[in-house]
Homo-oligomer: A and B are copies of this chain.
Amino acid sequence: MKTADPELMRAINRLNVLDTIRRHGPISRVEISERTQLSTTTVSAITASLLDDGLILPRHEGDIRNEAARGRPRVMLELNPDAARVVGAKIAANRLVFVVTDFRGDMLSKLTLPIRIDRQPIGVIADLVEDGVRRCVVDAGLSLEEVDTVCLGLPGVIEHRTGHIRSSPIFRDTNVDFASEMTARLNTPTIVESDAHAITLAHHWFGKARDLEDMVLISLEQTLGLGVLHDNQLFRGAGGLSHNLGDLVLGMGARGIVRLSSQAGESEILGEQPASGRFAEAIRLGRGMAHAQALIKAEDNTLISAAIRAGEAVGVAIANIVTLFAPPRVILVGSSLALGEPFLDSLRNAYALAVPPSLKGVAELVFDDSTDDFWAQGAAAVALYELYESPWNTTGPAF
């Protein structure tokens, strides 16, 4: 357990103030004091220190004065966008998406590489990722030295603390120390995080969970992932490793274990199609879901029934997650949502059936079809969050 000394105390309050400024846009000191319950004195001291460190900026121009415009006007404070730059990336089987953001999480540049990388040797993947990061940084008009942290979000079971990838559909090998590898290549601190965790944080910072302290997110991509927000923090399992929803067991059929991934994995849904012609080509290029959507509209019965089965399986899995975590909101993201109504309807129905009566109405299902940028932005947010906490603890006293 960490020992509580003045330094920790300071760090906590600093983070609290900084986070308040981040979340509530340009904000005055008085309002910070109200929100954080800290005295105006303390807020003044902390903001002075933050200003001194260049993390925040005063805003004079465009002071939208309130109606009751008496007295000394408030000085609005906001994050200094230039305080840091980070790179966030979404690494998927058939595409790489990079984003450079400033300290506020605003996108400075983005780069999408629609290339298939899964099952490539690690060296090749690392090459491609390195290249993408460098390009995207140049696109933003920066050099890598100006980037503070890189965060790579990828599917699978990731051990966040150590940066080890326990298993991922992208890598042939297991237990890859990808964080060290990329840190060495880029000569920039690089962290590795589950893509589901990344977009969970994205929704908490910018998306559909800004108002919540607790929340669950289900990502339906090639891999089925889970992100849990508990008390404004990412809940990482024991040992800090991420969850792989696809490994959940839904039942014991005649021929053994039935896992969620075998019912609702992207390749399993699409795989039942005759692997020929335009559709197979689309799958190879990672456009499988978009194409599937078209086929469903054209009433392709094989695919529709696969989508329905997948929806049922996911709905039941979500009900089980809700049974365990009782979150007020469940956000669903990922390419499988593109399957459309047949999938979503059966998901909703199965969920309604499977959720225990005592928890009926507790959780609200929200579907979200964000673009890939958003995932990458989430990875950037993970990087920023790490920055918030660590390096400025060492700044020393405010004066």
Q: Which residues of A contact B (CB under 8 A)?
A: 1, 3-6, 8-10, 12-13, 16, 36-38, 157, 166-167, 174, 213-214, 226, 230, 232, 237-239, 241, 243-245, 247-252, 256-259, 312, 316, 319-321, 323-328, 350, 353-354, 356, 358-359
A169 to chain B, nearest CB (A): 12
A358 contacts which of B244, B251, B259, B327 (Cβ < 8 Å)? B244
Cross-chain contact A238 with B9 (CB below 8 angstroms): no
Q: What B residues does A174 contact at CB under 8 A?
A: 358
The chain B residue with its CB closest to the CB of A313 is B252
A351 to chain B, nearest CB (A): 10
Cα–Cα, bound, A257→B3 (Å): 49
A interface majority secondary structure: mixed
Q: Say yes or no: A320-B323 contact (C-beta < 8 A), given A3-B38, A251-B250, A354-B249.
A: no
> What are 14 A-B residue pairs whose CB atoms fall within 8 Å in the complex?
A1-B232, A4-B12, A4-B13, A226-B324, A237-B325, A239-B328, A243-B323, A247-B356, A248-B320, A249-B319, A251-B258, A251-B316, A252-B316, A257-B354
Cross-chain contact A358 with B238 (CB below 8 angstroms): no
Cα–Cα, bound, A232→B316 (Å): 31
Q: What B residues does A37 contact at CB under 8 A?
A: 3
Q: What B residues does A4 contact at CB under 8 A?
A: 8-10, 12-13, 16
Q: Say yes or no: A326-B241 contact (C-beta < 8 A), given A1-B36, A9-B6, A9-B9.
A: yes
Cα–Cα, bound, A245→B10 (Å): 41
A16 contacts which of B3, B12, B166 (Cβ < 8 Å)? B3
Cross-chain contact B238 with A353 (CB below 8 angstroms): no
Cα–Cα, bound, A289→B1 (Å): 42
Cross-chain contact B239 with A326 (CB below 8 angstroms): yes
* Residue among A226, A230, A238, A243 having the largest count of chain B Cβ atoms under 10 Å: A238
Cα–Cα, bound, A99→B316 (Å): 40
Cα–Cα, bound, A257→B232 (Å): 33
- 9 closest A-B pairs (Cβ-Cβ)? A251-B251, A214-B238, A247-B356, A4-B12, A237-B326, A4-B9, A167-B358, A249-B354, A3-B37
Q: What B residues does A320 contact at CB under 8 A?
A: 248-249, 320
Cα–Cα, bound, A319→B260 (Å): 13
Cα–Cα, bound, A166→B326 (Å): 13
Q: Say yes or no: A256-B1 contact (C-beta < 8 A), given A249-B319, A320-B248.
A: no
Cα–Cα, bound, A233→B322 (Å): 21
A244 contacts which of B251, B252, B354, B356 (Cβ < 8 Å)? B356
The chain B residue with its CB closest to the CB of A309 is B252
A238 to chain B, nearest CB (A): 4
Cross-chain contact B323 with A247 (CB below 8 angstroms): yes
For the A-B complex with A4-B13, A4-B16, A244-B356 known, give 6 more contacts whose Cβ atoms are closer than 8 Å: A3-B36, A157-B358, A226-B324, A249-B319, A250-B250, A251-B258
